[in-house]
Amino acid sequence: MPSLLLLLGLTNQEQSTMATGGAGAGEVRHWTAAVNGISLHVAEQGPATGPAVLLLHGFPELWLSWRHQMSALAARGYRALAPDLRGYGDSEVPAGGAADYTMLHVVGDVVALLDHLGLPDALVAGHDLGAQVLWHLCLFRPDRVRAAVALGVPYFPRSPVPMADFLAARGDGFYISQFQEPGRAEKAFAKHDVATVLKKFYSLELDDLSAPPGVEVIDFFQASPSPLPWMTEEELGQYADKFQKTGFTGPLNYYRAMDLTWQLTAPWHGAKITVPAKFIAGDKDTGVQSLGVGRYIDSGAFKSNVPNLEVAIIEGHHFIQQEQAERVTSEILSFLDKFI
């Protein structure tokens, strides 16, 4: 439901000021907006008159995953806007099941947010799941994206076979396969405390994201026994508090909607991405190593599908904008500066 602030008719700036006591460029302001039929929470930093950069987080993350880039963008004069995607954090969690979480729904949220802000277009960055949202935004509404930066997940054109067939070929041990059945992953996750579930994902350095037969992936994944070098225990607690409140069903529904998204995106079959784009990934990212992404990039197929493309493979793993914050920020800024 829309927040009380929205029901009172307050503007974004008024909501931000109420939330933080001010609206200076150096602080993070928080506000909510009614967009596309849901309430979306947005964290904002930087001058309201600066070039807008929309930052889309991945799984299982929140707006907080962009904290380092937000402060750097703000210091450079950009207006950094990082929403919690639907089903995450302080944004609304639609209760209609997977049918409420297709890429058309999530891209609709992003377009409606740009409309709400009065922005004809924006610079957009996305990581992991957020990169998939970004690519679909470029596909559906290239007029709304001035330039795009994708982290970890490249653009793959629509498969000739349904997503259900792809997952069947991967087998039941594959993490996305296990996410398909409503309630299965939630039940497996519930055997662990929320912080441990998150740390298991954040610690991933496997070559393959599949569990042995009869084993749930969350039980197979191992959490680092020591604190992560790129995340404080306080920051992990911030993530855990939000997922404790919302649960994991909303985020998991993105995976359960993949086959429906495949069905609905038939009109874009074979389409290329025409927006200027940069792809950044860690050289030890499990997705790059195990899902054929490296071969896809090296063969020139990625460049063929995204003609106006730059690629930067840097040292690091999957949660690259947090693990290698300074390097990723530098890569993003050097690209975005060309388009302002």
SS3 assignment for the chain: CCCHHHHCCCCHHHHHHHHHCCCCCCCCEEEEEEECCEEEEEEEECCCCCCEEEEECCCCCCHHHHHHHHHHHHHCCCEEEEECCCCCCCCCCCCCHHHHCCHHHHHHHHHHHHHHHCCCCEEEEEECHHHHHHHHHHHHCHHHEEEEEEECCCCCCCCCCCHHHHHHHHCCCEHHHHHCCCCHHHHHHCCCCHHHHHHHHHCCCCCCCECCCCCCHHHHCCCCCCCCCCCCHHHHHHHHHHHHHHCCHHHHHHHHCHHHHHHHCHHHCCCCCCCCEEEEEECCCHHHHHCCHHHHHHCCHHHHHCCCEEEEEECCCCCHHHHCHHHHHHHHHHHHHHHC
Residues 123 and 146 sit within 8 Å (Cβ to Cβ): yes
Cβ contact 61:126 at 8 Å:
no
The whole-number pLDDT of residue 20 equals 37
What value does the mean pLDDT take over residues 133-154?
Answer: 98
Position 3 pLDDT exceeds 50: no
CA distance 190 to 184: 10
Q: Per DSSP, what are the bridge partners of residue 29? A: 44
184 pLDDT more than 60: yes
Q: Which of 84, 90, 100, 128 is catalytic?
A: 128
- The yes-or-no answer on residue 255 being catalytic is yes
Q: Are 179 and 256 a contacting pair, CB within 8 Å? A: yes
Tokens of 161: 């076979």
pLDDT of amino acid 25: 59
User: Across-strand partners of 79?
Assistant: 52
The single residue of 105, 136, 317, 318 carrying the catalytic annotation is 318
Percentage helix, strand, coil for the chain under 3-state DSSP, each rounded to 5: 45, 15, 40
Tokens linked to 258: 């993949």
Domains and CATH numbers, the chain: 29-337 (3.40.50.1820)
Residue at 282: amino acid letter? G
Location of structure tokens 């995607």: 85
Average pLDDT over residues 216-223: 97
Percent of the chain residues past pLDDT 70, beyond the cut? 92
Tokens of 33: 């907006």
Per-residue confidence band for 10, with pLDDT thresholds at 50, 70 and 90: very low
Is there a contact between 115 and 138 (Cβ–Cβ < 8 Å)?
no
pLDDT for 7 beyond 60: no
The tokens for 77 are 């004069």
Contact 81, 55 (CB under 8 A): yes
Nearest Cα residue to 53 out of 72, 35, 73, 39? 73
Choice among 78, 155, 255, 259 that is catalytic? 255
233 band by pLDDT with thresholds 50, 70 and 90: very high
pLDDT at 251: 98
Is a pLDDT exceeding 50 seen at residue 283?
A: yes
- Average pLDDT score over residue span 270-295: 89
Distance, in Å, from the CA atom of 243 to the CA atom of 248, rounded to the nearest integer, reads: 7
Q: Give the tens place of pLDDT for each residue, 314-329.
A: 999 999 999 999 999 9
pLDDT for residue 206: 79
Amino acid found at 272: K
Q: Could you tell me the pTM of the whole model?
A: 0.92
pLDDT at residue number 287: 76
pLDDT in tens, 68-118: 999 999 999 999 999 999 999 999 999 999 999 999 999 999 999 999 999
Mean pLDDT estimate for the chain: 92
Q: Which residues pair with 261 in a beta bridge?
A: none
